Structure 1
Amino acid sequence: MRHKLLRRLLAPTAAAALFSAVIAVQSPSSAEAAVPATIPLKVTNNSGRGDAVYVYTIGTLLSTGQQGWADASGAFHAWPAGGNPPTPAPDASIPGPAAGQSKTIQIPKFSGRIYFSYGQKLVFKLTTGGLVQPAVQNPSDPNHDILFNWSEYTLNDSGLWINSTQVDMFSAPYAVGVQRADGSTASTGHLKSGGYNGVLNDLRGRSGGWAGLIQTRSDGTVLRALSPGHGLESGALPTSVMDDYINRVWQKYASSTLTVTPFTDQPSTKYYGRVSGGVMNFTNGSGAVVTSFQKPDADSVFGCHKLLDAPNDQVRGPISRTLCAGFNRTTLLVNPNQPDTSSANFYQDAVTNQYARAIHAQMADGKAYAFAFDDVGNHESLVQDGSPQQAYLTLDPFN
C-alpha cells in the first residue's frame, strides 16, 4: 500500500518520532472519548455525471494493525487470506449517492484510503502479502479503464487527517473537508471553475512528453493524467526530463553552499550542503558530515525516493524531503536557503515538474499533493482536526 499520509504529516517536526510512538501505544482514555470509534463521512455527488458511484473504505485498523475494509456502518472486516496468483477480494463497495444527492457513511479509525469509482466497481485482489492496490501506471491492471480516484485519511485518538491527493494521478475531481467541534468547517481540494480541463489542456499543450501523461478510454473518456514518476515508468516522459536542472544544481553547489533548515520549530538546526566528487555532502554546525546524496535522476526527484530516500529520522529524512521539494518546485537555483516556502518562486524554471505546476495553478486554494512532500511549507491539500464531528468527500464537476 502506497499510503504515505502519516509519514508526510509527521516527518517535518521534531515531534515526529514521539507522535508515532503515541499512536502505537495510546490506550483508551479521554482522548478516545473525544474521537469516537467511527465518525460520519458525508459523500456529496456534484459531479454532474449519471454513472453509478461506488465508495470503498480500505486500510489498516489502527487498534490491531489488521488490514481490511469497512462497510457503510463503519464495521471492520479483515481481508481473508490471499493467494498466488492473487484471488478476488470480498466486495467492499458501498453504493454511493446519485448525481445531485448526498449519502452519509461511517468511517473507522483507519490509516487508509477512501476510493470512489464511476460506472463500475473496482477490482481488488488479495495475494499472500495482502491487498493488491490498483496500479494505474500498468496498462494491464483490471482497473485501468475505470474512472476512479481516492482520498487518504488517518483517524486515530488524536483526530482526523484527510487529504486530496495527486501523488499518483490527477483524475476524477473531488474535495475533502471536516466539521469541527464548534460547527465550523474546513475544506480543500476544490479546483477553480474550469480547472479540471485547465490541467489537462495545460499538459496537452506542453512539449517534451507531458501530454503523454493523459490516459483516455476507448470511448473517449479521459481517465487520468499519470504523475510524472509513473510517466517515466510508462515511457511517456523521457528519463532525461529533469537532467538539465539537476546538473545545474550540482554545478552551483560545487562552488557555493546550500543551507537547509528542515524544522520550522527548530530554526537553529541547520545543515550545509556542498558538492564534492559528484556527491552532495551535508555537514552540521560542527562541520561533521551527517549524510550524503548522489546526484539524483528524474525518478528520484519525482518519487522522492531512491537517491532521495527520506527515512523517518531526524537528519537524512528532513534534509531529503527539503531537497525533493526544491527539485520539484525548482527553487534550488534561485534560493540557497531551503526550504523556500514562497509559492511565488515555485515552478519558474523552464525545466520543472510541469504536472505539479499545472495542478497547483488550477486549485481554488492553491494547495495540492502533487508530489509526496508537497507538505513542505504547508502547500498540501489536507485538513485536520483533533475533535472531528464529520468528514466530507465532495465529488466535483468535470469542467
Structure 2
Amino acid sequence: MSPVSRRALFRGAAAAAVAVPAAGLVTHQASAGNLFRSQATGANAAGLPVKIVNNSGAYDSASVHVYIVGNDGKNQCHVTPEGELKPVQLSDNGPDGYTDYAIPLTGTETTITLPEMSGRIYVACGEKLKFKAVEADTGAALAYPAAWVESDPNYPIVHDCAEFTYKGGAMYCNTTMVDMFSVPLSIGLKGAKDQTTGTLKPGARAKVFDSVRSVEAFSKLVIDDKRVIAPGHGMGSGLFAEDYFASYIDQVWDAYGSKDLKVTTNAGTFTGRVSGGRLAFTGPAEVSFAKPSTKDVLFCDGALAAPNDGTTGPVAAILGAAFNRTTLLSAADQPTTDPATFYQGDITHHYAKAMHAATEDGKAYGFAFDDVAGFASYIEDGAASELTLTMTPFE
C-alpha cells in the first residue's frame, strides 16, 4: 500500500467541514473499496463499543467533555451520548450561537457506541468546545476548533483529538499532533489482535513543552501550558519563520543537481535529479517537483502535494517525510527506516522530533506524511471489537 493512501478518505469525509484542521487524518483511499465493503461478519453492525478512559490525573471526569463528529459519507454528523448518529443542523446552534454535542463522562471509564462513520473524537478539559453549525454548499457543516488561531473561540480551552474511520467492522485510527499537541492520548484497538499506540512516557507532556521551548526558532509555538502549535500553523502569525527550511532545501537542490536520488515505492524505484529547477524522476512513470518552500514541507502540500495516483503521490509522500526528517542529505536512497538518523542537525523539525521522543513506541503523527515507513501513531483492524481512547497522565 502506498504511503499516501492513508489520507485522502478522511479528507474527503471532512471536506464539507468548515475550517477543518489539516491534521494527520490517516485513511486508506487506495483500499477504499475494501474499507467500504464489509470486512467483518456483521457482529458489529450495531456499532463499535468505544471506551473513553480518564487517567489524566489533571481533570476529574465531570469536567471532561467528549465529542464525536465527522461524516457518514453523505452528511456532516455527530454522535449522541446514546450512540445515535445525527446530521448536523443549523437549528442545533443554541442561544450562544454554538451547538452542544458534548458527551459527558459517567466516571473514570465511559462506553459509547460508535456508528459507522469517519471523524474525530475530541476531548475538552474544563470547558465545553464551541462547535458552530454553519451553512455550506453541501448543507449544514461544522466549524471545527482551530486552536492555533488566537481569535478562535476554542483557543482558551485545553483540548485534543484522535481520528478514525469505522466501516463494515473495520477500524482505522490514529492519534495526531499534526495541528497541535495538548492532551496526552493513547488508543487501543481490539479485534483480530490487541494493539495500542500513542502512549506517552511518564512526564513526557512537560518534556515536549520544554523541548520545543528550548529551541529558539520553535519557542513561540508553546502556548502557556495549554498546547504546542505545529510550526506550519505558526507561520503567518509571527510564531514561526516562513523561511526556516530554506537553507536545507537549497542544499538538497544543490546536492541532487549532480547525483541521483532514488525513491522506492510500491510501484517501483524512481530515479531523480534536479534539472531546470525541478527534481525530475524517471522510472515507473515520469514525475517531477518544483522546489518546495518551508510551508510546502511543513504541510506536505504545494510543491509536495500527493495525489492518490499511485506514482506522483507516493514519491511526494516519501519526499515530504524525508524533508521533515531531514534525511535527504544523508541518504540518497529513500525512504530511510532507521529513526536514529531522523531529525539530525540544527535545522530540522524539532516539533516532530519532540513528539516521537515522547511516545513509548516512538510513533507519532508529527506531520502529514509521518506514516511513511510506519512511524505514525496509527493502528487498524479489519474485524474490530472495541476501541479505547485514554487520556493518559499529564504529569
Given the two structures, how large is their TM-score scaled by the length of structure 1? Answer: 0.87
Closer/same/farther in 2, CA of residues 276 and 314 from structure 1, 3 Å limit: same
Percent sequence identity is: 38
Q: Is 1:342 equivalent to 2:345 in the alignment?
A: no
For 1:171 and 1:53, the matched residues in 2 are separated by 14
Q: Is 1:212 equivalent to 2:220 in the alignment?
A: yes
Paired residue secondary structure (1:261) = strand
**CA offsets per residue over residues 117-138 of structure 1, 9 Å max, x none?**
0111100112211211111121
Kept in 1: contact 2:258–2:273 (CA 8 A):
yes
Q: Is 1:383 equivalent to 2:379 in the alignment?
A: yes
Kept in 1: contact 2:23–2:178 (CA 8 A):
no
**CA offsets per residue over residues 126-174 of structure 1, 9 Å max, x none?**
2211211111121110000000000001101151112110010011111
For 1:384 and 1:171, the matched residues in 2 are separated by 24
Q: State the match for 1:249 in structure 2.
A: 252
> Alpha-carbon deviation of 1:387?
1.3
Kept in 2: contact 1:174–1:396 (CA 8 A):
yes
Q: State the match for 1:239 in structure 2.
A: 242
Paired residue secondary structure (2:174) = strand
What is the one-letter code of the residue matched to 2:265?
A: P
For 1:170 and 1:30, the matched residues in 2 are separated by 33
Q: Is 1:40 equivalent to 2:49 in the alignment?
A: yes
Closer/same/farther in 2, CA of residues 90 and 351 from structure 1, 3 Å limit: same
Q: State the match for 2:166 in structure 1.
A: 155
For 1:341 and 1:353, the matched residues in 2 are separated by 17
Closer/same/farther in 2, CA of residues 69 and 395 from structure 1, 3 Å limit: same
Kept in 2: contact 1:35–1:156 (CA 8 A):
no
For 1:32 and 1:232, the matched residues in 2 are separated by 48
For 2:241 and 2:142, the matched residues in 1 are separated by 31
**How many aligned residue pairs are there?**
368
Q: Is 1:228 equivalent to 2:216 in the alignment?
A: no
Q: State the match for 2:130 in structure 1.
A: 123
What is the one-letter code of the residue matched to 1:326?
A: A
For 1:117 and 1:67, the matched residues in 2 are separated by 20
For 2:337 and 2:269, the matched residues in 1 are separated by 16
Paired residue secondary structure (2:235) = helix
Q: State the match for 2:115 in structure 1.
A: 108
What is the one-letter code of the residue matched to 1:294?
A: A
Q: Is 1:296 equivalent to 2:292 in the alignment?
A: yes
What is the one-letter code of the residue matched to 1:241?
A: Y
Given the two structures, how large is their TM-score scaled by the length of structure 2? Answer: 0.88
> Alpha-carbon deviation of 1:236?
0.8
Which runs of 5 or more residues in structure 2 are unaligned? 1-13, 15-19
Paired residue secondary structure (1:349) = coil
**CA offsets per residue over residues 150-202 of structure 1, 9 Å max, x none?**
00011011511121100100111110111225xx5211111111111111111
> Alpha-carbon deviation of 1:107?
1.1
Closer/same/farther in 2, CA of residues 244 and 4 from structure 1, 3 Å limit: closer
Closer/same/farther in 2, CA of residues 377 and 161 from structure 1, 3 Å limit: same
> Alpha-carbon deviation of 1:90?
3.2
Kept in 2: contact 1:5–1:153 (CA 8 A):
no
What is the one-letter code of the residue matched to 2:283?
A: N
> Alpha-carbon deviation of 1:89?
4.7
What is the one-letter code of the residue matched to 2:316?
A: S
> Alpha-carbon deviation of 1:3?
7.2
Which runs of 5 or more residues in structure 1 are unaligned? 217-221
> Alpha-carbon deviation of 1:5?
8.3
For 2:184 and 2:310, the matched residues in 1 are separated by 35
For 2:25 and 2:386, the matched residues in 1 are separated by 24
For 2:23 and 2:295, the matched residues in 1 are separated by 20
Q: State the match for 1:219 in structure 2.
A: none
Kept in 1: contact 2:127–2:157 (CA 8 A):
yes
1:74-93 to 2 correspondence within 5 Å? 74-81=83-90, 88-93=97-102
Closer/same/farther in 2, CA of residues 310 and 82 from structure 1, 3 Å limit: farther
